[in-house]
Structure 1
Amino acid sequence: MNSIQSFEIAIIGGSFSGLSAALSLVRSLRNIVVIDSGNPCNQNTPASHNFITHDGTNPKLIREKTIYDLSKYPNFHSIYGEVNSIEKSDKGFLLKGNGIPLLQADKIIFATGLKDVLPEIPGFAESWGKSILHCPYCHGYEVVGKTTGLWMNENGVFEHAKFLKHWGKEITVYTNGPIQFSEEEEVKLKKEGVSFITEKVKTLIHDKGQLTSIQFVSGKETPLDVLYARVPMVQHSSLPESLGCKILPSGHLEVSNFYETNLPGVYAVGDMASIFRSVAHAVHSGNIAGAMLNRAMILS
């Protein structure tokens, strides 16, 4: 039988929220392990913004610096691999997976994040995180004044388009087919001066992820520099739900103010448990979860 490595806390996911929780916990003298598959949602993004001391820094460099800092603590351990099953045990939880040893943990922090479901249109995935963006707070300043579009076809489009006009005065909504939002929203868009194009899109033309134009099935082509996109998101990992964590109608995990799920001793941090998708919020949630989990363990 394979030997079991035991830790007080296993953090599943090693991007910003997971590493922030790790730092909070190792400084609280906890013996922890971070298991990461090396697939962060912002891996295509060349620069992180709106995070103090690191504005404009490549997120990969921030993660590498964080791991370097964590490696100075003897109670920090990291494993590259993927957890594919978690079982409850008498001592807590038993973790199994690809490329990892058998692990025993008293507590768990999920930091596995959300996965964006991108449309299967040539150029979309290649430009995602570079010139196809999800957040003006993260990237809007850098694209002010550029030819801007919004990829969206659902109710709420008016609010999103009006919001984006703060960073780009002229916004074109691309619905990629017949309009799915209400006639009321369509009227509001027109009054706001927002144009929309309903033609089916053939491809997004780009140069190494930087958009230059959008081409339609009809053959028509229009210039485009930046495209904000509202795309579906799903949990990157099915582990929390299979373990019994409650999922909200929004698709996020239900957590307390201190990021504990409905399962005692199981926490979830980052965008998997919040509508906010930013480095700053990920770091905040991890820090709070680590501190409050340590407090709960002391007082239990």
Structure 2
Amino acid sequence: EAGWTTDPFGAEVIDGVLYGRGATDMKTAVACFADAASRFLARKGDGFNGSISLLITGDEEGPAINGTRKVLQWMQERGETMDACLVGEPTNPSTLGEMAKIGRRGSLSGWLDVHGVQGHTAYPHLADNPLPRLLKMLAAINDEVLDDGTDHFQPSNLQITTIDVGNSATNIIPGTVRAAFNIRYNDLHTSETLMAWLRSKCEDIGGDYDLEFHITGDAFLTAPGPFSALLAGAIKSVTGMEPDLSTTGGTSDARFIKDFCPVAEFGLISQTMHKLDERVAISDLENLTDIYEAVLDGYFAS
């Protein structure tokens, strides 16, 4: 609670603004969709013969081991299928209606350890300094342009995030040095092709090294089509805005769902997510509920 104006779990409304953890990311989007579905079903009555499901998990950030993936596996084992999915991520940078997501970049993290022989700087012939080889490897992967982007994705990018020699002394040659990096990549690549490229670059330099990888998710795209058009039309009908169909930003649980059905993302404004005083205007909640209801109307009318 330190630093918050209100109780982060109190859901206080002050001057038409709801404050609380999850106000934008993304408990309120779930509530808006539940309300929209309730209103939709109340209007349809007993004549409705479709199916609406809400997939809600408590393990969405980070490794997401016991979240959406487990639920999807459970559904598959039961023979449950989905025709389309809408994820309530806070997709709008500043104004409700300006952006929906139809894909996401992939994320690959790597750790490069280069090994040598520790020694004294006065006796370099008795040591093997791994740091120059590490720097050459990092230069080789950092200097190469991965691609120029696509119609739906920005260019892939590699960022070196840490270099650690574990050595504060100026007269000691380190025995092992480590660097970490992250690649955000578009659908011109897969994690497999990037890992092969990284290994090739390191092999070109040579020496004793190890590479470890962690794949958060591969890039994916739900190509613009009926589902994204339906979502864009619903957004415009409520906000008057034509949303940008984007693939920017980080990863989301849509990376798991895309293997099962077409998926798009639309929710609230992302400016205060993960911050102190996370908040959302009540008017945005009302409009988001209307948008979700319009999506249901359009989807089940088709």
Q: TM-score, normalised by structure 1?
A: 0.29
Higher RCO (CA-CA < 8 Å; seq separation 6+): 2
Instruction: Indicate the structure with greater helix content.
Output: 2
